[in-house]
């Protein structure tokens, strides 16, 4: 089943600066679609448009075949329940004044009446938080700490736990390991890969790092200057007909 689609998306800023040009793709159920490109090419802008944070100028975004024409937060609420995100900077994503358990409970309190939980079946909030922390390989007592008491890798795992807490269909991962050290990057990627299999969630995995995209994805898109210049199954990365820019990325990858 196709979950998330973009059809011929265009986006400009400051009236005449083109950020996205004719971007189209489809994300299938239980898949991981990688999006790779250099910094500033439009990847994060695309993520913000898909999340309905920024508006597009032309084109369509569809979820399960239904075009999104929402105008208000109230209308967007059901969509946001199905599409969650993990961003590059976990420190900025967590409220420093809230304990970890309260940050994890926030999406649940907003959406619990809309979710038919299949993976998290806790009978009270304490057990629910413990289940989420266990899912991201963190101890239950970490829920009583504040963000400043956690390492960068731990904080990113918390943001992942929050994203999966309402069992979305899609998670947009926008440079989720860019701010982490090498060991934390590897462990977080393994965690994300395992969660995709365990929960049946689909990812749009965005990164400037082709090696990370290759390790995670089932298919790959290459973006340059706001355009998708190449799109292929993971197994075809080294095919001779790859776009010249893709070959440049491969040369750095090797």
In this structure, the answer to whether residues 188 and 223 fall within a common structural domain is yes
Q: Answer with the one of 167, 183, 208 that is the final residue of a domain.
A: 167
* One pLDDT digit (tens) per residue for the chain, 254 residues: 999 999 999 999 887 889 999 999 999 999 999 999 999 999 999 999 999 999 999 999 999 999 987 667 777 888 888 999 999 999 999 999 999 999 999 998 888 888 888 888 777 899 999 999 999 999 999 999 999 999 999 999 999 999 999 999 999 999 999 988 999 999 999 999 999 999 999 999 999 999 999 999 999 999 999 999 999 999 999 999 999 999 999 998 76
What is the pTM assigned to this prediction? 0.95
> Can you tell me the distance from the alpha carbon of 55 to that of 11, in angstroms, rounded to the nearest whole number?
8
- Count of the separate structural domains present in the chain: 2
Q: What pLDDT is recorded for position 70?
A: 64
Q: The domain containing residue 185 runs over which residues?
A: 1-82+171-253
How distant, in Å, are the alpha carbons of 82, 100, 153, 193 from that of 117?
13, 21, 27, 21
Residues in the chain: 254
Is 179 found in the same domain as 163? no
Same domain, 147 and 215: no
Final residue before a domain boundary, out of 128, 149, 167: 167
What local confidence, expressed as pLDDT, does residue 130 receive?
Answer: 96
Query: Is residue 76 domain-resident?
Result: yes
What CATH number has the domain bearing residue 26? Answer: 3.40.50.300
First to last CA, the chain: 34
- Alpha-carbon distance of 131 to 125, in angstroms, equals 10
Please name the residues in contact with 64: beta carbons below 8 A apart, sequence gap of 6 or more.
1, 2, 3, 169
Q: At what angle do helices 73-82 and 100-111 cross, to 10 degrees?
A: 110
In terms of Cβ atoms closer than 10 Å to its own Cβ (0-12, 13-18, 19+), residue 211 is middle
For position 91, what pLDDT does the model report? Answer: 94
Q: Are residues 103 and 77 in the same domain?
A: no
pLDDT of residue 78: 81
């Amino acid at each position: 089943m196709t979950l998330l689609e973009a059809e011929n998306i265009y986006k400009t800023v400051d009236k005449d600066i083109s950020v996205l040009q004719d971007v189209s793709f489809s994300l299938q159920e239980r898949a991981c679609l990688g999006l790779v490109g250099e910094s500033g090419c439009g990847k994060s802008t695309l993520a913000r448009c898909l999340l309905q944070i920024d508006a597009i100028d032309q084109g369509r975004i569809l979820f399960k075949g239904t075009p999104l024409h929402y105008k208000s937060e109230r209308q967007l609420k059901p969509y946001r329940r199905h599409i969650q995100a993990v961003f590059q900077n976990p420190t900025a994503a967590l409220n420093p004044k809230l304990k970890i358990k309260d940050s994890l409970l926030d999406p649940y309190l907003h959406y619990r009446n809309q979710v038919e939980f299949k993976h998290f079946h806790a009978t009270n909030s304490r057990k629910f938080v413990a289940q989420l922390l266990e899912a991201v390989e963190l101890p239950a007592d970490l829920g009583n700490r504040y963000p400043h008491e956690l390492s960068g890798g731990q904080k990113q795992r918390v943001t992942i736990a929050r994203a999966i807490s309402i069992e979305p269909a899609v998670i947009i991962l926008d440079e989720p390991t860019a701010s982490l050290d090498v060991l934390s990057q590897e462990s977080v990627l393994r965690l994300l890969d395992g969660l995709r299999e365990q929960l049946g969630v689909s990812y749009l995995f965005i990164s400037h790092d082709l090696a990370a995209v290759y390790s995670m994805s089932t298919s790959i898109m290459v973006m340059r200057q706001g355009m998708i210049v190449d799109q292929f199954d993971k197994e075809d990365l080294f095919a001779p007909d790859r776009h010249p820019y893709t070959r440049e990325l491969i040369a750095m990858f090797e």
